[in-house]
Amino acid sequence: MSDPDFRTPEEAGRVSGTAEPPSGPPAAALAAAAAARLAELRLREPLTHSITNSVVTGFTANALLALGASPAMVDIAGEAGVFAGIADGVLLNLGTPAPEQRRAMREAVAGAARAGTPWVLDPVAVGALPVRTALAAELLAAGPAAVRGNASEILALAGRGGGGRGVDSADGPDAAREAALTLALAHDAVVAVSGPADLITDGASIVRVENGHPLLTRVTGGGCALGAVCAAFLGVRGDRPALEAVVAAHLVYGLAAERAAEGAAGPGSFAVRFIDALGALSPDEVSAGARLRVAAARTAGEGRA
């Protein structure tokens, strides 16, 4: 790719100190920060509170455990708020939002707000489905540190698309770039759009994480567990700078997927190898393997990459 708005880590390294972008860190600095955060995560074992859909609970918990975080799923009223105050990071995933989970999510948001716990919103399949679409709007207004979804979900959350069966595979994350920027600025949140290359923005910078593997889309929870990993990374040092934490999550996740795909015979063995890889990936491999590109949002906003 030859998009002049974006620089590889190598390029960023070469120009380091000579021509910094007007906002945000260069790619090499983000990669180094991701490596350091991974090491720190394994020392601190952030307690990561996931209220997530019933399809991916096991995979999500195993991804967190393998990574080095401490997962817990407390998704009932009367407990979720208490636990969000104890936890280091929280994920709210709207995949199967039964009434009890909706109550628990509202408690968790309140508990997280009281304790200053950063939390992630994953607006699964918002748009066409009314209950979660209303819930997502309500939760978005409550101040997540980060939002993670695919392009159609981010577009729907920003009110620009119908969601579902939509834009994802055809257009990729770039189709949701403006929506992501708008959400990030309006809600002071990091917004991550998953796709062949993930697009992550805090409203000032746009980071693309080119690490990853298509087999992740053939494993249920491949996206949902990434939201939990974002919450874990946000839980390492709290939510500032949240951009670094969310980029670290995507980078580690994508690199583990690349490693897992080597020698996988299909999505079953890939999923097993992916969990192994999340545990085996070293900080050095993160900084060496990162394929990040960074641009200022205002520049990136001028045209399609």
Question: Residue numbers of the site for its own copies (CB under 8 A)?
Answer: 47, 53-59, 61-62, 65-66, 71-76, 78-79, 82-83, 86, 95-100, 125, 128-132, 164-165, 217-221, 265-269, 271-280
The closest of 55, 34, 27 to 220, measured between CA atoms, is 55
CB of 74 vs its own copies, minimal distance in Å: 7
Residue (184 or 278) nearer to its own copies, CB: 278
Q: Would you state the torsion angle of the CA atoms of residues 245, 42, 256, 300, taken in this order, to the nearest 10 degrees?
A: 10
Residue-by-residue DSSP string for 97-152: --HHHHHHHHHHHHHHHHHT--EEEE-TTTTT-HHHHHHHHHHHTT--SEEEEEHH
CB of 288 vs its own copies, minimal distance in Å: 20
Angle, alpha carbons 158-181-109 (nearest 5°): 60
CB of 47 vs its own copies, minimal distance in Å: 7
CB of 220 vs its own copies, minimal distance in Å: 4
CB of 163 vs its own copies, minimal distance in Å: 11
Strand pairing class (190-194; 119-122)? unpaired
Residue (50 or 201) nearer to its own copies, CB: 50
CB of 238 vs its own copies, minimal distance in Å: 18
Residue (191 or 257) nearer to its own copies, CB: 257
Residue (57 or 194) nearer to its own copies, CB: 57
Write out the two tokens for 43.
């020392």
Q: What share of the chain is helix, strand, coil (3-state, %, to 5)?
A: 55, 15, 35
Write out the two tokens for 128.
């066409």
Beta bridge partners of 207: 200, 294
CB of 79 vs its own copies, minimal distance in Å: 5
The closest of 154, 209, 206, 162 to 180, measured between CA atoms, is 154
Residue (50 or 205) nearer to its own copies, CB: 50
Helices (H) and strands (E) in the chain, counts: 14, 9
Please, which residues have CB within 8 angstroms of residue 99's CB and are 6 or more apart in sequence?
A: none
Task: List residues forming the annotated binding site for ATP.
Answer: 148, 194
* Interior/surface letters 162-195, b for 16+ CB within 10 angstroms, e for the rest: ebeebbbeeebbbbbbbbbbbbbeebebbbbbbb
DSSP label of 237? H
Residue (21 or 172) nearer to its own copies, CB: 172
Residue (4 or 99) nearer to its own copies, CB: 99
